[in-house]
Amino acid sequence: MINALLALFFRPERGWDPVPADYAQTYAEAEWQKVDLTLVAKLGQLVGGLEGKEVLDLGGGPGQYSVAFAKSGAIVTWHDVSRNYLRIAQEKAASAGVRITFSLGYMDEAPRVLNKQFDLVFNRICFYYGWNDAHFVGVIYALMRPGGHAFIESNNLSFGWDRLPPFARLRAWINATLGFKIGHPHPPRGRIPALFLKYPIERMTVEFPTAHIDRVFVQKAGRSQ
């Protein structure tokens, strides 16, 4: 896996950050203006209320959803590879007066780094940064408690397709047809739920709110704790 090999050399704990500070700040300002509290409430209903539930914001970015979950009473862990996003998320959490556990590292390494499971794993608009689609679904599944839930919202292959240069289209085609990932192409539509079906699950709901977005709600098989 090329992405996994590259991760051996580009390490966040050694100061590497894939997100420039200026971009992180601009993106954070935009994302904090459009937090979907309806989605947070819907997920709260899905897990039987957020109060006291352990939630992992996997690929938490500037922390807008971490703070929203914490305000709803959840016990929140933020995990992301970017130190610039970490700084912003910490500042926002302090300003909001909520307590969040912060963890820096690749999303694919979260099971080893965090060494725990969660009632809800939340992964929004960053699924494609996983090293390999099949492997990353396994990562999310491993982070869910028995009976726990995951929510994934991901742009799919059609997102921005008309703007992709030829080599990026080739990488996307290789990932879509062979499952071999070079860089970070978006997954083909429907791949994420299809990969979850390879694991024991209790139930799954799939939504396509637009032609470019896949939303997956999934519950892991087993008895919740």
Mean pLDDT of the residues in the chain: 95
Which amino acid is located at 189 in the chain?
Answer: R
- Tell me whether residue 142 is in a domain: yes
Q: Which domain holds residue 147?
A: 2-220
- 161 phi and psi, to 5 degrees? -60, -40
The predicted pLDDT at position 224 comes to: 63
A 10 A CB-CB count for 100 gives 24
Distance from C-alpha of 100 to C-alpha of 93, rounded to nearest angstrom? 7
A 10 A CB-CB count for 215 gives 18
- Tell me whether residue 39 is in a domain: yes
Mean pLDDT of 102-109: 97
Please state which of the ranges 2-11, 36-45, 96-105, 153-162 shows the lowest mean pLDDT.
2-11
Mean pLDDT of 14-35: 96
Distance from C-alpha of 52 to C-alpha of 84, rounded to nearest angstrom? 28
Percentage of residues of the chain with pLDDT beyond 90: 93
- Tell me whether residue 225 is in a domain: no
The predicted pLDDT at position 101 comes to: 98
- Tell me whether residue 40 is in a domain: yes
How is residue 9 annotated by DSSP?
Answer: T
- 64 phi and psi, to 5 degrees? -65, -35
CATH of the domain at 132: 3.40.50.150
Considering its fold, how many domains does the chain have in total?
1
Distance from C-alpha of 210 to C-alpha of 141, rounded to nearest angstrom? 25
Q: How far is CA 130 from the centre of its chain?
A: 9
**Which strands form 118-124's sheet, in the order they lie side by side?**
100-104, 75-80, 54-58, 118-124, 144-155, 213-220, 201-210
